[in-house]
Amino acid sequence: MKSSAELLKEHQLKVTPQRLKIIKMLEEYGHLNVDELYNEMLKEFPSVSLATIYKNINQMIDSGIIQEVKLPQTKSVYELIKEPHLHMICNICLNVEDIIIGTDKIIEEAEKLSGYKIEDSFMTLRGICPSCQNQS
């Protein structure tokens, strides 16, 4: 796997400690919303502002390193760009998980039915995660 610094350089972004930290956190947690990113950043960079975090996030979105995952009824989360996948979200704990399922067939079918040329998709499945099921 590429190092975070290599990833930034490859996308023509300057390697800064804050950007490295954002990538590291997303590698570790998978999906984080902006508040979670901000709170973690504060531990290492006590003077960082929310505006700076947004700026870094947006630059990395523009460069194709991370993407925003829009979720129904809860804040968007950010993740590193990886292979196409769907998101499972737990209705109880709001945990977000990736599930790697090919979406080509669905998109192909949707294009056929609608005549659209699909460019982007955000598919979310909602339910109760295994750990919440065990608690009931």
Shortest CA distance to 18 belongs to which of 82, 29, 50?
50
Using CB under 5 A as the binding rule, whether residue 79 contacts Zn ion is answered as: yes
Tell me the per-residue interface mask from 114 to 133 with Zn ion, x by CB under 5 A, - otherwise. ---------------x--x-
Name the residue nearer to Zn ion (CB basis): 50 or 99.
Answer: 99
Interface with Zn ion (CB under 5 A), residue from 15, 50, 93, 123: 93
Name the residue nearer to Zn ion (CB basis): 12 or 136.
Answer: 136
Name the residue nearer to Zn ion (CB basis): 5 or 125.
Answer: 125
Using CB under 5 A as the binding rule, whether residue 92 contacts Zn ion is answered as: yes
The residue ranges of DSSP E strands in the chain, in sequence order, are 66-69, 77-80, 86-90, 96-99, 124-127
Q: Which residues are annotated as a binding site for Zn(2+)?
A: 90, 93, 129, 132
Which are the contacts of 97, defined by CB distance < 8 A and separation ≥ 6?
30, 87, 88, 89, 90, 129
Q: How many residues of this chain bind Zn ion (CB under 5 A)?
A: 8
Q: Using alpha carbons only, what angle is made at residue 59 by residues 53 and 60, rounded to the nearest 5 degrees?
A: 90
